[in-house]
Structures are given as structure tokens and as C-alpha cells.
Structure 1
Amino acid sequence: MSFSPGKEPSLHLSAGGTAFGRGKTAKEIWKNRHYYILLLPALLFFILFHYVPMAGIILAFKDFSYAKGIFGSEWVGLEHFNRLFGSNSFYEVLANTLIISFYRLAFVFVAPIIFAMLLNELRNVKFKRTVQTISYLPHFISWVVLGGIVMELLSPTRGIVNYFIQLFGFEPIYFLSSSEHFRSVLIVSDIWQSVGWGSIIYLAAIAGINPDQYESASIDGATRWQMAVKITIPSILPTIVILFIFQLGGIMHAGFDQIFNLYNPSVYKVADIIDTYVYRIGLVNLEYDYTTAVGLFKNVVGFILVILANIVTGRIREGEYRLW
């Protein structure tokens, strides 16, 4: 460390200083070794199921042969991508994926925020906890089961929804076979399944707001609506932005489990997304090389969207809302 008159002291690191830094880091890791041990299963999960399979990306550039294997198959370069971008059916699938994903951003992403704010306004603790518990339950039920429940509720012959429709003198609606209604069914059922669980993080963010702000606003004569708009929303905005970036990164994942358990050939035109397209072409028709190219395209687009969203949000309020 060197000092000079009128200047702040400056610190010059030498090789020894760097070694000291490394030694200090090693000591910190050893000190907190129990936490790192707890972290190991999660790290192993991501390494084994997210990073190791990335070696299979090479399939997108090969004419896969079972006899020759992945690395022995013939290299075809961008042939699968040329087929991909030259296929009219792919553009229809891509459009469906984007449309359904934007619907999810507009409605499914916003629903937990509104639900959390409404729960926060409840003063009866027992009623609040009951509502929370009931709203969480669908999250823990597989879409295989939820899909069956939705089918029964919307059945044109025995479903309760069509029962009330006919009660008012209207004809029954074939919701799951109608191109006009199928996307609405997807969004409403997705909100039902995810709104309770998704509200947890927003409730936690709201709980961290200083109560003095609400007391001061109440003394000044602010209504509950004004306090929600002027205090609650700005306070949880960083959380909303971070989760929005995550959601935007998964915009090419329009919900395979849900759609696969609800759709049928009569609504392929509006419901067939990239994931269901990959399932049919890859696993049913066994075209692994082509569907690897489709999956690679989808993930690259998602990665670019995350980067762009982070850059855009980083320009707001001096990078306060940036993810990294």
C-alpha cells in the first residue's frame, strides 16, 4: 500500500496478494463446507441433466444412424436447419408457440401478482390461510390428472360448465375441440393451476415492505387502491422484473405437459407448439437429428431473449433491475 499527499491511499496487489486472495477464498469455502455439501445435489442435477446432454447438440448437424451412433454418423452441416426454415408447418408451430406464450405473459404471469395483492388486503387470518392453501393445491397435481379434471368439467354431455350453458338455453360448446375456444381454456386452466404457487414470492416481497409507509399514507388520507399503486407495486417491482426476465427466457416453452394432455388433432392448427411438434416428429417418427435442430433453434432464441431483456431492464434506474 502506498500513500501520497492529497490522494487516497492506493493498494497494489502483487503475486503474493493474489495468492493470499486465493487462500482466503479457500478458507471461506472450507469454513462454509457444510453449505457447499448441501449444494452438491443441485449442482450434480444441473451438470448431469442440463450440461452433459448438451453434447447431443451435434445431432443437429448429422444424419443420425443407429448403427453408426452419434459421433460416427455422417456430417450434413445445416441441412436440417434448411429443412426447418423451409417447412410451412414449422412456421405455423412457431406462431402458435409465440401466441400462447404471449398470452401467458399477459395473463398467467400477471395473475399471481394481482392474487398476492388481494390476499395482502385480507384481514381475517384464518380465511386468508384457507384461501392460500386451496390455491396452492393444483400446483402439486400432475397435468395428467388436471387434464382429466378439465375434460370432465368442459365435457359437452356431462360437464358442469356446459350444464349451466344449456340451462340458459344455449347449445353446448365443444371447448377442447374448438379452435376458437382452445387457447382460452389453456390460459384459464393454467391460471387455476399456477396462481397460488406463483403468488408466494410476491407475498414474501410484500411482507418485506416497511409498514410505516402504509401508516403514513393512511394518515395522509390515501385509499387502499392508492396505497397499492403508489407503495406496493413500486416496492415489489424489482421482483416482478426479475421474474419477468425468467419468464421471457422461457417464452419458447409454451407448456408441453398441459397442451399434450388437452389437445387433439382437431385443434392442431392453434395448439401445436414446438415441444409437441418435436415430440411427434422426434419420438414418434424417430427423426432425432431434425428435432435436435428444432430444439437448438428454440433454446438459442430463448437465450437471446434473456440477454436482451437483461440489457433493456439494466437501463432502467441505473441498472437496479438487472439480473446480472
Structure 2
Amino acid sequence: MREERARASGTPAPSESGRPSGWRRFRRDRSLLLMILPALVLTVVFAYVPMLGVVTAFQSYDIYSGFTGSPWIGLDNFLQLFRDELFWRSMENTLVISAVQLVLYFPVPIALALILNSVLSDRIRSFIQSVVYLPHFFSWVLVVTLFQEMLGGAGAINTLLRRFGMPTWDIMTNPDAFKFLVTAQAVWKEAGWGIIVFLAALAAISPALYEAAAVDGAGRWRRMWHITLPGMRGVIVLMLVLRLGSALSVGFEQMLIQRQAVGRDASEVLDTFAYFYGVVNNNFGFGAAAGLFKGVLSLILIIAANKVAHAFGEDGLYRR
């Protein structure tokens, strides 16, 4: 009887558990599946297929012998990696830069989303969104060049300071300020793009909640504290989990471009370490070992962050 009613209404018939069968769900959602098919193919080809190359981390890999002809050396690459002081220096730099970006960069898109959500004029809101989104489409070469033109030794700010007889700032070549410099570059480039998710979370909050709070006498700050932020909490936790999962990837191109200016000790991170001491030195097994170590550590971070999200009552990436 239930199937006859479903056929008459044109909707998929549910199974005994109350859900449509797998084939009926496929027919129902085939348009959505076709939309994600190109992204799925790209992910498989460029993300999952290359994972087969991690076998080189356990080989003395030779590019001419390939996977099958290269000798198997077990964990020797990892032992060499863990004895390398430069590796631990790059690990330290990666963790420090990631921590600084987590504290200084992660809250910025949330704050921008709250500010944009408070703008009443749609035209002004659209203009601000366009302005803050635009740097996302710039390459890191252009971003670093713009910062050099503003903050470099011959940049606009230092030129102005010299004109007034004031001391200049050594920012672009200062190793101690490098972690803050790359964070500022990341904020300027990506913060506008990052607010998209938070604006979507704000749009999902019912306006009736704000109206009821206003009737009860709650001001703007109390409405934000008791309605807006709790409504965004799930998305904020999800983005924080994703951020921790990619914490060890702090920008290969960004570091590579500025490596000569600040020196290796300040700019060497795990990605550049694997590149210079693996690919450039033709020691592919050693570079693969560094990359595999970073991948496993990132997996541990994202699982731990997800457990913390569950402890706070949020779903995180997946439910318990």
C-alpha cells in the first residue's frame, strides 16, 4: 500500500526501515551525484592515486628503476629523518607558525562574518564582500610582492618614515618577525574567502530568535553572545577541526618565495624540507618519508580534534 501511494505521488518508495532503497535514492539524487562527479574524479586522480607512491619511503628509490626495481630498505629513511637536526628545526618552525596562525588568523573570518552580517545595506555588504574576497584569487608571488612594496626596505612605509627622519622597520627580512609576517599575508589573502562558510551559518539562524530577544530587552551584544555565537558553534568547531588537520601545511609556495630573504632557519617547514632534501637532492625516499610522517601526524591531529569536538557535544567531521 505504501509503495502504491509512493508511485502515485511520484516519490521514491521507502523501505521497511522508512528510508528509500539504495537504487531509489540513487535515482532521486542522480543530478547531485553527477554534479560532484568531476570533483570526485579529480580527488581520486590527484589525491588518492599518488598515495601509492608512499612505498618509496621504504625504498632507496631510483627514478630509473621505478617501484619494482628500487631496493627495499625498510625504516632506514625514517631513522635518517629522525636523526636529522634540520628536520626537527623544520618541525618546530611548522608548529610555531601553525600555532600563531591558529590564534591570530582563525578568528578573523568569524569576526568579518559578524561585521558583514550587521550591515543593513545589501549594496554596501556586496561591495565589502567583493573587496575582501578578491585577494583569494591572487597568487602568492603577487601577495609577497605587494607586501614587499609596502613593508620592504624601499617600500612605501619605510620611504615615508625616512622622509620624516624616523627609524625604519625591518620586517620583510627579519627572521624573528617572519611568523607574524606570513600570518598577516595569510589573513589578507584568505580571510575574505573564509567568511563564506560562516555567513552561511549566520543565514541559518532564525530571525525569530533575534526578534524574541529584542522584545525581552536584549541588546546587540547580548543577542550576539546568546544567539549568534551559539548558532555558529557547530560550524566553528567543524572549521577548527579541519584547520587542525591541515595545521602542518602552512604554505609551501609562500615559504619558498621568502626563503632567501629571511634564511633557512626561520622559513624551513616540513613541506620545503621534503622538497629541498628529497626532490632537489634526488633522495626521493627520504622526501617521501618526511611527507608520510607529516601525513600520519596530520591524521592523528584531526582525529584528536574530532574527539575533542565530540566531548563538547558537537558532531565534528563525523558522528560518534
Q: CA deviation at 1:232?
A: 0.7
Q: CA deviation at 1:115?
A: 0.8
Matching of residue 312 in structure 1 with residue 312 in structure 2: no
Q: Counterpart amino acid of 2:187? A: I
Residue 3 (structure 1) aligns with: none
Q: What's the TM-score once normalised by structure 1's chain length?
A: 0.88
Q: Counterpart amino acid of 1:313? A: A
Hey, what's the Cα distance between the residues in 2 that align with 1:34 and 1:52? 26
- RMSD over aligned Cα atoms: 2.3
Residue ranges of structure 2 left out of the alignment (5+ in a row): 1-14
Q: Counterpart amino acid of 2:86? A: S
Residue 318 (structure 2) aligns with: 323
Hey, what's the Cα distance between the residues in 2 that align with 1:279 and 1:271? 13
Question: Equivalent pairs: percent with the same residue?
Answer: 33
* Contact 2:178 2:262 (C-alpha < 8 Å) held by counterparts: no
* Contact 2:255 2:267 (C-alpha < 8 Å) held by counterparts: yes
Q: Counterpart amino acid of 1:213? A: L
Question: Which of the residues 246, 252, 259 maps onto 2:255?
Answer: 259
Question: Which of the residues 69, 81, 90 maps onto 1:93?
Answer: 90
Q: What's the TM-score once normalised by structure 2's chain length?
A: 0.89
Residue ranges of structure 1 left out of the alignment (5+ in a row): 1-17
* Contact 1:122 1:128 (C-alpha < 8 Å) held by counterparts: yes
* Contact 1:282 1:291 (C-alpha < 8 Å) held by counterparts: yes
Q: Which moved more, 1:125-134 or 1:77-86?
A: 125-134
Matching of residue 223 in structure 1 with residue 241 in structure 2: no
Matching of residue 127 in structure 1 with residue 131 in structure 2: no
What does the per-residue CA deviation read over 1:272-308, in whole Å, with 9 as the maximum and x for residues that have no partner? 1111111212232121110000000000000111111
Hey, what's the Cα distance between the residues in 2 that align with 1:228 and 1:285? 54
Q: Counterpart amino acid of 1:64? A: Y
Matching of residue 138 in structure 1 with residue 124 in structure 2: no
Hey, what's the Cα distance between the residues in 2 that align with 1:220 and 1:164? 53
Against the structure 1 CA distance between its residues 78 and 321, is the aligned structure 2 distance closer, same or farther, given a 3 Å change threshold? closer
Q: CA deviation at 1:152?
A: 1.4
Q: Counterpart amino acid of 1:29? A: F
Question: Which of the residues 48, 69, 74 maps onto 2:71?
Answer: 74
Runs of 4+ in 1 over 6 A off after TM superposition: none
Residue 230 (structure 2) aligns with: 234
Question: Which of the residues 43, 48, 57 maps onto 1:51?
Answer: 48
Q: CA deviation at 1:168?
A: 5.2
Give secondary structure in 1 for the equivalent of 2:191. helix
Matching of residue 199 in structure 1 with residue 195 in structure 2: yes
How many residue pairs match? The answer is: 305
* Contact 2:100 2:180 (C-alpha < 8 Å) held by counterparts: no
Matching of residue 33 in structure 1 with residue 33 in structure 2: no
Q: Which moved more, 1:146-155 or 1:300-309?
A: 146-155
Q: Counterpart amino acid of 1:323? A: Y
* Contact 2:198 2:235 (C-alpha < 8 Å) held by counterparts: yes
Question: Which of the residues 150, 153, 156 maps onto 2:147?
Answer: 150
* Contact 2:152 2:158 (C-alpha < 8 Å) held by counterparts: yes
